[in-house]
Amino acid sequence: MTTATPELLTVSEVMARLKVGRSKVYDLIRTHRLASIKIDGARRIPTDAVRDFIQNQLEEAA
């Protein structure tokens, strides 16, 4: 059985998707509201983590 590798986004790509600044993305990562990994010093965020963050924000707003 093979599993699909999640797509990884750069901080800049997440900034564009969430329409927020660089500092905000790093704040979300630092506070564990947005999951991320480091690959040789480069921060990457799974697309699923961005989707989950948006969904959590929508649920909190409801």
Stretch 8-23: mean pLDDT: 98
CA-closest candidate to residue 18, choices 34, 41, 30 = 34
Quote the pTM value: 0.87
pLDDT, tens only, 30-39: 999 999 999 9
pLDDT (mean) for 26-55: 97
Token pair for residue 45?
A: 């965020």
Q: What's the confidence (pLDDT) of residue 34?
A: 97
Q: What are phi and psi of 58, to 5 degrees?
A: -65, -40
pLDDT surpasses 90 at 3: no
Give yes or no for residue 2 having a pLDDT over 70.
Answer: no
Kindly give the residue spans of alpha helices, DSSP state H, lying in 5-46.
Answer: 11-18, 22-30
Nearest CA to 9 out of 49, 41, 53 is that of 49
